[in-house]
Structure 1
């Protein structure tokens, strides 16, 4: 079986597991996630934080976002450009959001208000699967890898710090990275905060 086919089968399997998660488990996971992320000093120190709007059963950041807003932090959501590049838009309780071409809600802002991935300090990254070395199984579009490719030329951890967010059942023993994959620095689940930086 080719690596591409194996990845597609793994994606499908993890999507199904995530879709079948009961509502009570999702709520408990969101609470657990906040507790785990609070162990990360950057969550308290950094001012410009990127995240995502949970869709299709992704682990919700709503409690994390509320926590950041209470601390006066700037929270940003990704906006998908045409060339597989993400820009980020500041998101607040007053923001207007509209689904993009993938059905993912994006803040409606002027293009001049968008900020580059490199201008963020901490980014919470959605995923379908992960291993403990920081390898991420994404959705196949390549948006995150191309947007944060500049980190591949930098000694890690660097700025922004990349923290993958997923349920503990999304962990797999090992993922074979592609040459373009950008490694995560940490992974946060509802149960633990995993440090993926080399010893």
Structure 2
């Protein structure tokens, strides 16, 4: 079993109590995070395959009057992501990976460089901040120049997803911060 499969299995095997305790800690860290308090445009993902549950985070961001954006696969550039505004009224559809995303609406797209924070999904991560995603490279391509854009990527994970070392490649992006518990 490879590292990606092993960590996904570990994540899915968390008991409901372990999951709840960890998520409450993560939510508290988000509520007290200075960069999140001052951000306006925040991209986040909808949880999939045992990831940290993001619906409570989204609800919190809405309560704080933040504009929330979800990624969709760009139909014209299928290796890239677009970010569409997400509200309580947004209708969602499943993409080719079975992940819910907003229906494409040109008027709801926010150019990537206007995002303040990008919450980044991950399968595994190490102490240095390197992450292993699902293997599509979407976030590595997206975040390639995040410093120049003044965007803060923040990973979300459970402690069981931390590994000793990610065998990173030159194109892999090191996250400056990962919130986990």
Structure 2 length normalisation: TM-score? Answer: 0.92
CA–CA distance in 1 between the matches of 2:61 and 2:26? 14
The residue aligned with 2:6 is: 13
Deviations, residues 89-125 of structure 1 (Å, cap 9, x unaligned)? 1111111111111111001241342123222001110
CA–CA distance in 2 between the matches of 1:73 and 1:183? 26
Count of aligned positions:
179
- SS for the counterpart of 1:149 is coil
Pick which of 89-98 and 48-57 moved more.
89-98
**1:83, CA displacement in angstroms?**
3.1
The residue aligned with 1:64 is: 57
Residue 120 in 1 paired to residue 115 in 2? yes
Residue 101 in 1 paired to residue 96 in 2? yes
The residue aligned with 2:21 is: 28
CA–CA distance in 1 between the matches of 2:11 and 2:80? 26
Residue 74 in 1 paired to residue 79 in 2? no
- Contact 1:30 1:63 (C-alpha < 8 Å) held by counterparts: no
Counterpart among 159, 169, 172 of residue 160 in structure 2:
169
Residue 183 in 1 paired to residue 174 in 2? yes
**1:35, CA displacement in angstroms?**
0.8
- Contact 1:52 1:126 (C-alpha < 8 Å) held by counterparts: yes
**1:175, CA displacement in angstroms?**
1.5
CA–CA distance in 1 between the matches of 2:104 and 2:166? 37
Hey, which bits of structure 1, 4+ residues long, moved more than 3 A? none
**1:173, CA displacement in angstroms?**
1.5
Structure 1 pair 170/178, CA: closer, same or farther in 2 (3 Å)?
Answer: same
- SS for the counterpart of 2:168 is coil
